Structure 1
Amino acid sequence: MSFGLYYHIPYCFSRCRYCDFYAAGGQRGVPDAYIDALLRELHRHPLPGAPDTVYFGGGTPSLLTPAQARRLIQAAAPRPGAEITLEANPETVDEEQLRGFREAGVNRLSLGVQSASDAQLRTLGRPHNAAQARAAFAAARQAGFANISGDIMLALPHYTRAEFDQTLALIQEGGAQHISAYLLKIEPGSAFGRRPPEGLPDPDQAADFYLYAVEQLARAGYQQYEISSFARPGFEGQHNRIYWDCGDYLGLGPAAHSCMGNQRFYYPPDTAAFIAGSDPVPDGVCGAEDYLILQLRLADGLDLAEYRRRGGAEFTAHQQAFLEHCARAGYLTLTPDHIALTPLGMIVQNSILEELI
C-alpha cells in the first residue's frame, strides 16, 4: 500500500472569496519557524516507509522558497521516482523560482487558474489575471516541468460554456497533462457564504455545466478518473489516489488531517499553536463506510468484494432495488461485483450515498 505525506502551507497573499480552507491572507512568504515546526512534527511520527508521494498544499505553497521546499523534501526522504507536487498561484511564480523548485525535487506542479476571464477572477477574489496564468504555464515548461495540472472552477457567477471553453484552451495550450474541474460550492465560512454573489447558476444549470465539462475534457484528451479529476493517460494524480483508496497518509500543519493504520487524527486549525507544539487530535477510524464513500468518487468505482473484506455490510433488498433503479436511470453501472457512478451519477453522489449508508 502506498504512503503519502502532505505539508500544509497556511499562508496566502489574500483570501479568495470562495475559500474556507484554513489559511491566513496578507502574507508574502513562509517563516522559517513554520518550516522548523513541520520538520519537528515529521520526526515525531513513525512512518511506514519512504513516502510514495509528497504534496505541498495550502494556502499558497508557492510562497515557500525553493530552499525551504528542499529542506522539507530532503527530510521526508521520498522513494526514488516519488510524485512530489507543489500547488502554485500564477502571480507568485516565475521561471527562476520554478527552476529552483525543480532542483529542490518538485516534479509536479498544480496551477490554480480557475478561469480565463479577468472579470471572473476579480469576482472570485483571485490576485492573478489570465495573462499571468499563461505566463506561469510558459515559465513552468521552461523550468523543465513535464507534469503540470491546472484547476478550472465551474458554475461561477454569470457562467457560460464559452468561459469554460476559454479556460480549457488556456490550460491545454499551457501544456497541462492533468486538469481538476470542480463546481463552485458556497461554503458558510467563506466571504461568498456571508454574502453570496449575484448570477449563480441554479442546481440544474450547474449540473449541465459539469456534464458539458466532462464531455469537452474527454474530447480534448483528458479522461475522467474521479469526480473532479481528468488526465491524459499516465498522468493521473497519485497522492489523492492514496486518500481515495483509504491508504496511509500523514498530514502536517494546522488543520491537516491524517490516517495511519486506519486511525484518523488532525492538527487544530491554529498556526501559532502548531508552531508552539500543539498535539494532534484523534478523529476516529477509517472503516468500510469511508471506503465506500471514497471509492464511489472514482470512475473505476467500488469493488464489492473488497468492500465486504473491509467489513462492509451486505446491501438490503431495498438498497439493491435502489441501485438497480439508478442503473436503469443512467446514474451508475452495476454488476454483482462492482458499482461505478456515471458522470450523471457523480452529480447526485451524496443522494446515492444517503441510501447506501
Structure 2
Amino acid sequence: MAFGLYLHIPYCKSKCSYCDFYSMGRRTEVPQAYVDALLREMRRFTNCDCTALRPDTLYFGGGTPSLLTPAQVTRLIDEASPVPSAEITLEANPDTVTAESLAGYRKAGVNRLSIGVQSASDRQLALLGRAHTTQTARAAFEMAQKAGFTNISGDIMLALPDYSRTEFDETLSLIAEGGATHISSYLLKIEEKTKFGLHPPKGLPEEDQAADFYLYAVEQFAARGYAQYEISNFAQPGYESRHNMIYWELGDYLGIGPAAYSCMSGERFHYPADLNAFIARTAPVLPDGKTDAEEYIMLQLRLAHGLDLKKLRTGFGLSLNEEQHKKITLYQKAGLCTFSGDVLWLTPKGLLVQNSILTELF
C-alpha cells in the first residue's frame, strides 16, 4: 500500500478572493523557522510507532509552496527520504517562479509541478485576486519544460463571473500547449469567510449554467486527450496524481503543518489552524475518528473506476437491497450512472448531483 506525505506551506504573496485554505498573505518567502518546524515534525513521526515508512508520494501544497527556495525544498526532501520512484509534487504560482528556481526544484528532486493558471483572461485573474497574468502563466510553462519537467499539471476554474466558453477554450489551449499532462478543473465555490464571501462578485452563472460549463469542459478535455479519472481531475494516460489517489482510496497519508490532515491505518487526525502554535511546538495533534463506509462510498463514486460492490461488502459488510437496485435503474435511465451488476459508476452528469444520489441511495 502506498504511503503519502503532505507538507503544508501556509504563505502567499496575497490571498485570492475565493480562497479559504489556511494561509498568510503578504509574504514573499517562507521563514526558516517554519521549515525547521516541518523538519522537526517529520522527525517526530518518523521516530514514533505511527510510521517509519518512506513516502511513495510527497506533496508540497499551500498556500504557495513556490515561495520556498530550492535549498529549503532540498532539505525537506532529504529529510523525507522518499523511495527512488516517488512522485514529488510542488504547487507553483506563475508569478513566483523563475528559470533558476524551477531548475533548482528539479535538481532537488521535484518531478511533478502543479501550476495555478485558473484563467487565460487578465480581467478575470485580476478579479480573482491572482497576481499573475496570462503572459506570466505561459512563461511559467515554458520555463518548467526547459527545467526538465515532463509531468506538469495545470489548474482551471470554471463558472467564474461573466464566464464564457471562449474563456475556457483559451485557458485550456494555454495549459495544453504548455505541455500539461494533467489538469485539475474546479467550479468556483463562494466560501463564507473569503473576500468573495463577504462581497460576492456580479455576473456569477446560475446553477444550470455552471453545470453546462462543467459538462462542456469534460468533453473538451477528452478531445485533447485528458481522460477523466476523478470528478475534478483529468490526465493523459499514466499521469494521474498518485498522491491524490491515496486520499481517494483511503490509503495512509501524513499531513504536516497547520490545518493539515492525516489518515493512518484508518485513523484520522489533524493539526489546528494555528501557525504560531505549530512553529512553537504547542499545537496538539487532534483526533478526527475513523474512516467509515459512508466516506468510502462517497470517495469511490468520485472516481472513474466507480464503486465496487464486492469490495464494499468485503470491507464494510454492506450489500445493496432491492430498493437501492430499483433506484439505480432509475438513475441509469436518467443518464446519471452506469451499473454492471458489480460496479456502479457515475457519469459526468451524475457527478454533478453526486450528493443527491448519495443521500437517496445510501
Deviation at 1:48, TM superposition (A): 4.9
| Aligned equivalent of 1:346 | 351
Supply the AA of the counterpart residue of 1:171.
I
Supply the AA of the counterpart residue of 1:64.
L
Select the residue among 41, 56, 63 that pairs with 1:52.
Answer: 56
1:280-318, Cα deviation, whole Å (9 max, x unpaired): 100000122111111111011111111122215223433
> Runs (4+) of structure 1 moved beyond 6 Å?
none
- Aligned: 1:129 with 2:133: yes
Q: Distance in 2 between matches of 1:79 and 1:13?
A: 32
| Aligned equivalent of 2:43 | 43
Q: Distance in 2 between matches of 1:243 and 1:355?
A: 25
CA contact (8 A) 1:148 1:176 kept: yes
- Aligned: 1:243 with 2:244: no
Select the residue among 197, 216, 228 that pairs with 1:212.
Answer: 216
Supply the AA of the counterpart residue of 2:104.
G
Q: Distance in 2 between matches of 1:184 and 1:356?
A: 27
Match of 1:188, SS? coil
Supply the AA of the counterpart residue of 2:20.
D
Select the residue among 290, 305, 310 that pairs with 1:305.
Answer: 310
| Aligned equivalent of 1:174 | 178
| Aligned equivalent of 2:14 | 14
Supply the AA of the counterpart residue of 1:73.
I
Supply the AA of the counterpart residue of 2:218.
V
| Aligned equivalent of 2:329 | 324
| Aligned equivalent of 2:80 | 76
CA contact (8 A) 2:312 2:319 kept: no
Identity %: 62
* Gapped regions of structure 2 (runs ≥ 5): none
CA contact (8 A) 1:2 1:248 kept: yes
Q: Distance in 2 between matches of 1:113 and 1:331?
A: 30
1:234-287, Cα deviation, whole Å (9 max, x unpaired): 111100000000000000000000000100000000100111111210000012
| Aligned equivalent of 1:26 | 26
Q: Distance in 1 between matches of 2:319 and 2:225?
A: 38
Q: Distance in 1 between matches of 2:347 and 2:317?
A: 22
Q: Distance in 2 between matches of 1:227 and 1:312?
A: 26
1:217-241, Cα deviation, whole Å (9 max, x unpaired): 1001111111111111111110000
Match of 1:310, SS? helix
C-alpha root-mean-square deviation of aligned residues, in Å?
Answer: 0.9
Deviation at 1:189, TM superposition (A): 1.7
Supply the AA of the counterpart residue of 1:336.
G
1:153-173, Cα deviation, whole Å (9 max, x unpaired): 000000000000000000011
Select the residue among 291, 299, 305 that pairs with 1:294.
Answer: 299
CA contact (8 A) 1:113 1:150 kept: yes
| Aligned equivalent of 2:231 | 227
The alignment covers a number of residue pairs equal to 357
* Gapped regions of structure 1 (runs ≥ 5): none
Q: Distance in 2 between matches of 1:91 and 1:338?
A: 44
CA contact (8 A) 1:9 1:57 kept: yes
- Aligned: 1:192 with 2:182: no
